[in-house]
Structure 1
Amino acid sequence: SKSIARKKISNSREKTGRKPGGQPGHRGHCRKKLTPTREIYLPAPEEVLHDPDFKKTSKTITKQKIDISVEVHVTEYHADVYYNSKTGERIHAPFPQGVIDDVNYGGNLRAFLFLLNNDCCTSIDKSRRFLSDLTDGKINISKGMINNLCRSFAQKTESQRKEIFCDMLLSPVMHTDCTNARVNGESSYVFVCAVPDGGVLYFARGKKGHDGIKGTVVEDYQGTLVHDHDVTFYKYGTGHQECLAHVLRYLKDSMDNEKDRTWNRQMHSLIQEMIHYRNGLSESEEPDPQTVSEFEERYKTILSIAGDEYDYEPPGKYYRDGYNLYKRMKKYKKDHLLFLHNKNVPATNNEAERLLRKYKRKQAQAVSFRSPSSIDHLCKCMSMLVLMRRKEQTNLFREIAEIFA
Structure 2
Amino acid sequence: MQYGQQVHALTVYLNVAHFVPLERTSEILQALCRARPSDGTIALNLNLAADRLQDFESHLRTALTQQPVLHADETGSRVNGKLQWMHVVSCAQLTFYGQHARRGRAALEDMKILPKYKGILVHDAWSSYFKLPAQHALCGAHLLRELRGLAEHHGQVWAGDLREALRTVYHELKAGTLSPEARTAFERRFDELLEEGLLANPAAPPVPGRRGPTKQSHGRNLALRCQQHRCAVLLFLHDRRVPFDNNQAERDVRSWCVKRKVSGGFRSAEGGQNFARIRSYISTLQKQGRSVWEGLVSVFTGDVLMPNFNP
TM-score band, normalised by shorter chain: 0.7 to 0.9
Question: Whole-Å Cα distance in 1 between the matches of residues 151 and 261 of structure 2?
Answer: 32
1:209 aligned partner: 104
TM alignment of 1:137-148, pairs within 5 A: 138-148=34-44
Identity %: 23
Could you give the per-residue CA deviations for residues 367-390 of structure 1, whole angstroms, max 9, x where no partner exists?
332211110001101100001101
Contact conserved, 2:69 with 2:241, CA < 8 A, in 1?
A: yes
**How far 1:246 sits from its partner (Å)?**
0.8
Question: Whole-Å Cα distance in 1 between the matches of residues 197 and 264 of structure 2?
Answer: 43
Contact conserved, 1:222 with 1:238, CA < 8 A, in 2?
A: yes
Q: Which moved more, 1:115-124 or 1:372-381?
A: 115-124
TM alignment of 1:74-89, pairs within 5 A: none
Code of the residue aligned with 1:227 in structure 2: it is H
Code of the residue aligned with 2:11 in structure 1: it is L
Contact conserved, 1:225 with 1:237, CA < 8 A, in 2?
A: no
**How far 1:319 sits from its partner (Å)?**
9.8
TM alignment of 1:366-377, pairs within 5 A: 366-377=263-274
Cα pair distance change 1:329/1:107, threshold 3 Å: same
1:71 aligned partner: none
What is the aligned length?
A: 291
1:9 aligned partner: none
1:302 aligned partner: 193
Code of the residue aligned with 2:287 in structure 1: it is R
**Is 1:178 the equivalent of 2:74?**
yes
**How far 1:254 sits from its partner (Å)?**
1.0
**How far 1:221 sits from its partner (Å)?**
0.7
Give ranges in structure 1 of 5+ residues lacking alignment.
1-102
**How far 1:340 sits from its partner (Å)?**
0.6
**Is 1:241 the equivalent of 2:137?**
yes
Cα pair distance change 1:278/1:404, threshold 3 Å: farther
Could you give the per-residue CA deviations for residues 128-151 of structure 1, whole angstroms, max 9, x where no partner exists?
11221234xx21211111122222
Contact conserved, 1:224 with 1:237, CA < 8 A, in 2?
A: no
Code of the residue aligned with 2:69 in structure 1: it is V
Question: Whole-Å Cα distance in 2 between the matches of residues 366 and 383 of structure 1?
Answer: 18
Cα pair distance change 1:295/1:219, threshold 3 Å: same
Question: Whole-Å Cα distance in 2 between the matches of residues 238 and 201 of structure 1?
Answer: 17
2:246 aligned partner: 349
Normalized per residue, the structure richer in helix is 2
Question: Whole-Å Cα distance in 2 between the matches of residues 130 and 371 of structure 1?
Answer: 24
2:147 aligned partner: 251
> CA RMSD, aligned part only?
2.3
Higher gyration radius (CA): 1
1:400 aligned partner: 296
Contact conserved, 2:80 with 2:266, CA < 8 A, in 1?
A: yes
Partner of 2:249: helix, strand, or coil?
A: helix
Code of the residue aligned with 2:89 in structure 1: it is C
**Is 1:107 the equivalent of 2:2?**
no
Question: Whole-Å Cα distance in 2 between the matches of residues 322 and 339 of structure 1?
Answer: 23
Could you give the per-residue CA deviations for residues 38-83 of structure 1, whole angstroms, max 9, x where no partner exists?
xxxxxxxxxxxxxxxxxxxxxxxxxxxxxxxxxxxxxxxxxxxxxx
Partner of 2:299: helix, strand, or coil?
A: helix
Name the TM-score, length of structure 2 as normaliser: 0.87
1:327 aligned partner: 224
